A and B are shown apart, each in its own frame.
Chain A
């Protein structure tokens, strides 16, 4: 269909606008990356730049030469993988149960789960519960207490509800039990929702540092974010040089590029995984929306 002049102009305007918008979204990330690859002194004082100011890998050297960084990476990957798997399993099973009609006590259960979204036990009771389970100073303290998120249960429940009942009924007629229906019929159809929820869970676990701070005491069990924070903290500690402006400035300059490098180190793995989940993310982005 031929476009009118107005439509062509509008089309071009759309392209320009979206290009600018994309640039605004991407440039801060690019800036951080370029800053992290710059020389500390040259980068300071320059507000915006598209290329590294004096290429240098010093910041990454400082980050990665910390002996705890690799164990922290390993711990974080372990937590993310195991926790996300547990999260998805429990969320999916619970959501399916709540999506089914005829489940006894469904209303109470729904209310009970919803109640936890509004009220929580508080930090100290949570800590005491984790301690009583013998999880303090173990990686499972970061996995089990956050095994399921109430909000995500409802999201997946809404998605599952949209799957035609006839599919499960016909499977039942063919002799399938609930487990087979759940994992061979419902689950494949729920992959977009599960991918989105999985990504959210995974990113949440990757970025989580406060639980590690509270529950983990030994450094060899610490995850990535607290270790990065520690690196940053040491680099930012100028109080030792409070009477020496030159050394304080040098330290401050270095801390800036280390900060940027820490951001890249912390986010790069997630950014690398995202393209593989993107198609599901796009499909699943509208889950939970009101269907006509």
Chain B
């Protein structure tokens, strides 16, 4: 009896002790004081800042004291420490927050995580710091993106960490333009005139010239869609609402332009059936005068494209449409999946913003992604090749990992891209691509799962290709397609779900 009572008392005591551990700080929120204007303390050596900037990022890591880290420290004038994990990302962040070791820069993975951390007061308002130190970051983003990133209180707590703008490159033969005394076209009308000139002059000596090549189907024409403010592949924001791009009337004008190219034999009529092999062959044997290529192919196909030593290819700025729009369609949400913020309790908010701005600089970006020309890579006659073992061992880590790991607003300056830098960039190359952008890439789960609307994309593809290739009234055919999509595939219901999803994820 005595033992039972003793056991009972001990159990109570132990439970009480356990519950005591749950108490403590009443605040559920991370304390969020107004950011201090932390003065950068320079030591006697000049522009070095004491202390350490701690950056928390996901997934990939670089070896300690690696080239990239040392370079960034030298540029910034401050020691950097990266905490990266390949799993349990949120758990580790929660542990760091709970223990008070909150990193200065935090990369959130996914909107849900970002929203949660903002609502808990983890981040500081970046507006003032951006205006002071974030010129590179601002240059790479349009106002629409910043608007999308703002919280319900109107403040900007994070910048997007990955700005995935797609990897399309509109290639054109500069040597043909030079031969014809033509400038690189800047508008669609000029582009059409150039294609006609390619067609009329036997520039490859074989008589078989297809001015504008293509493969991969409709996606091949995404710069044309962008020029007309159309996007048949994504959900987009229009008049502050989420709508399906494929049923918007702007698409009609883009289709009309493409049909014109098709009818006048200015484009490859096999664009639906050409595959990568055929594309390389037609581009390599100078049948095509211009075509849309993908970033990651260009290095591998360099030799194939340059069979003629006189070949000079350039990556032209996508031509503008009648309303002055140009660019490419985004292939993922414009703010990607990574969001970078500066913690509200950071001792070095200014240095943190300077760091983010530093890695947003295109030259710095290239340096840390590709290394030093001549030492880590060669660019002989425009052909990019990795030198030595460092990048071979860490190439993937640098090219991919540095984006999210380093909490960096990502810019699509992959090393092969440097072979064909864009000509006549009037706008920042990244901003260029967001004249119309997708609200999100994967909308409501019900739609993704095919619970409603499954199969409508096939209707879209078939109808649009027919409109390009066949005769007929495009306006009528388009309206018929839209009606079918609405009636048969419950597009109205999809739009309702998409807006609800958007409100939930972005408008809170």
Say if A and B assemble together.
yes
Q: How far is the CB of A212 from chain B (nearest CB, A)?
A: 10
With contacts A108-B10, A111-B10, A125-B21 known, what are 7 further pairs, Cβ within 8 A?
A: A65-B393, A124-B98, A214-B88, A220-B64, A230-B86, A243-B294, A243-B331
CB of B59 within 8 Å of the partner chain: yes
Q: Is A115 an interface residue (CB 8 A)?
A: yes
Q: Does A127 contact B (CB under 8 A)?
A: yes
Contacts of B296 in A (CB 8 A): 241, 244, 247
Contacts of B7 in A (CB 8 A): 107, 111
Q: A121-B21, A243-B294, A243-B331 are in contact. Are A234 and B396 (CB under 8 A)?
A: yes
- Determine whether the beta carbon of A229 is less than 8 Å from that of B87: yes
Cβ-defined contact, A121 with B95, below 8 A: no
- CB contacts under 8 Å to A, within B283-322, are 294, 296-297
The residue in chain A whose Cβ has the minimal distance to the Cβ of B216 is: A243
A:7-28 near B, CB below 8 Å:
none
Whether, in the assembled complex, B186 has its beta carbon less than 8 Å from a beta carbon of chain A, the answer is: no
Min Cβ gap B57→A in Å is 12
- Asked whether, in the complex, the Cβ of B98 is within 8 Å of the Cβ of A233, the reply is no
Our pick among B11, B60, B92, B94 for the contact of A234 (Cβ within 8 Å) is B60
Q: How large is the interface on A (under 10, 10 to 19, 20 to 34, 35 or more residues)?
A: 35 or more
CA distance in complex: A114, B368 (Å):
54
Query: B414: nearest residue on chain A (CB-CB)?
Result: A240
Q: Which of A192-224 contact B (CB under 8 A)?
A: 210, 213-214, 217-220
- The winner among A66, A210, A220, A234 for most chain B CB atoms within 10 A is A234
The CA-CA distance from A82 to B215 in the complex, in Å, is 61
Say yes or no: A234-B21 contact (C-beta < 8 A), given A214-B95, A243-B331.
no
Nearest chain A CB to B60 CB, angstrom units: 6
A205 to chain B, nearest CB (A): 19
A237 contacts B by Cβ under 8 Å? yes
Pairwise interchain contact B88-A210, C-beta atoms closer than 8 A: yes
Distance from A59 Cβ to chain B, minimum over Cβ atoms (Å): 15
Nearest CB of chain A from residue B28's CB, rounded to whole Å: 13
Residue of B nearest to A212 (CB): B85
- Shortest Cβ distance from A197 into chain B, in angstroms? 26
A188 at the interface (CB under 8 A from B): no
Q: Which of B86, B91, B297 has the most CB of A within 10 A?
A: B86
Q: How far does the alpha carbon of A220 sit from the alpha carbon of B66 in the complex, in Å?
A: 12
Chain A 95-148 residues near chain B, CB threshold 8 A: 107-108, 111-112, 115, 119, 121-125, 127-128, 131, 136
- B83 at interface, CB cutoff 8 A: yes
CB distance from B499 to the nearest CB of A (A): 26
CB distance from B402 to the nearest CB of A (A): 12
A-B contact pairs, 9 of them (CB 8 A): A66-B393, A68-B63, A107-B7, A112-B14, A214-B92, A233-B86, A234-B400, A240-B400, A244-B294
Distance of B194 from chain A, by nearest CB (Å): 27
Is A226 engaged at the interface, CB distance under 8 Å to the other chain?
yes
A: residues with CB less than 8 A from B are 65-68, 107-108, 111-112, 115, 119, 121-125, 127-128, 131, 136, 210, 213-214, 217-220, 226, 229-230, 233-234, 237, 240-241, 243-244, 246-247
Main secondary structure of the interface of A (DSSP, over half): helix
Cβ contacts under 8 Å, A67 to chain B? 63, 393
State whether the Cβ of B3 lies closer than 8 Å to any Cβ in chain A.
yes
> Which residue of chain A lies nearest to B99 when distances are taken between CB atoms in the complex?
A131
Indicate whether B397 reaches chain A with its CB closer than 8 angstroms: yes
Does B185 sit within 8 A of A, measured CB to CB? no
B contact residues, total (Cβ < 8 Å): 38
Q: How far, in Å, is B185 (CB) from chain A's closest CB?
A: 26
**A119 and B396 contact, Cβ closer than 8 Å, known pairs A67-B63, A214-B95, A230-B61:** no
- A108: contacting residue among B6, B60, B98, CB under 8 A: B6
Question: Least Cβ distance of B390 to chain A in Å?
Answer: 10
Q: B residues within 8 Å of A by Cβ?
A: 3, 6-7, 10-11, 14, 18, 21, 59-61, 63-64, 81, 83, 85-88, 91-92, 94-95, 98-99, 101, 167, 276, 294, 296-297, 331, 393, 396-397, 399-401
B21 touching A123 by the CB < 8 A rule?
Answer: no
A127 CA / B83 CA spacing, docked (Å): 16
Contacts of A230 in B (CB 8 A): 60-61, 86
Would you call B18 and A128 a contact (CB within 8 A)? no
* List of A residues within 8 angstroms of B95 by Cβ: 123-124, 127, 214
Smallest CB separation, B383 vs chain A (Å): 18
Nearest Cβ distance between residue B359 and chain A, in whole angstroms? 18
Query: Contact between A244 and B400 (Cβ–Cβ < 8 Å)?
Result: no
Q: How far is the CA of A213 from the CA of B83 in the complex (A)?
A: 10
In the complex, what residues of B have CB within 8 A of residue A68's CB? 63
Question: Given that A127-B95, A131-B99, A230-B61 are contacting pairs, would A244 and B21 also be in contact in the complex, using a CB cutoff of 8 Å?
Answer: no
> Cβ of B92 and Cβ of A237 under 8 Å apart?
no
B86:A226 contact, CB within 8 angstroms: yes
For the complex, what is the distance from the CA of A123 to the CA of B59, rounded to whole Å?
A: 21
Which residues of the other chain, A, contact B393 by a CB distance below 8 angstroms?
65-67
Instruction: Tell me whether B99 and A128 are in contact (CB under 8 A).
Output: yes
Quick check: B397 and A234 within 8 Å, CB to CB?
yes
Which residues of A are found within 8 Å of B92, using beta-carbon distances? 213-214
* A121/B18 contact (C-beta < 8 A), A219-B63, A244-B297 known: yes
CA distance A217 to B393 in the complex (A): 22
**Closest residue of chain A to B400, judged by CB?**
A240
Q: Tell me the bound Cα distance from A123 to B331 in angstroms.
A: 39
* Residue numbers in B under 8 Å from A65 (CB-CB): 393
A124-B396 contact given A115-B14, A131-B99, A246-B276, CB 8 Å threshold: no
B88 lies within 8 A of A213 (CB): yes
A252–B83 alpha-carbon span in the complex (Å) = 27
Q: How far apart are the CA atoms of A213 and B84 in the complex, in Å?
A: 9
Most buried by B among A136, A214, A219: A219
A107 surroundings in chain B (CB, below 8 A): 3, 7
Q: Is the CB of B98 within 8 A of A128?
A: yes
Contacts of A127 in B (CB 8 A): 95, 98-99
**With A67-B63, A230-B61, A234-B397 given, is the CB distance from A124 to B18 under 8 Å?**
no
**In the complex where A108-B10, A111-B7, A131-B99 touch, is A217 in contact with B86 (Cβ < 8 A)?**
no
Q: How far is the CA of A231 from the CA of B397 in the complex (A)?
A: 10
Across the interface, name the chain A residue whose C-beta is closest to B394.
Answer: A67
The chain B residue with its CB closest to the CB of A108 is B10
When the two chains form their complex, are residues B60 and A233 in contact, meaning their CB atoms are under 8 A apart?
yes
Establish whether residues A213 and B3, one from each chain, have CB atoms under 8 Å apart when the complex forms: no
Q: Report how far A109 CA is from B21 CA in the complex, Å.
A: 21
Residues of B contacting A214 in the complex (Cβ-Cβ under 8 angstroms) = 88, 91-92, 95
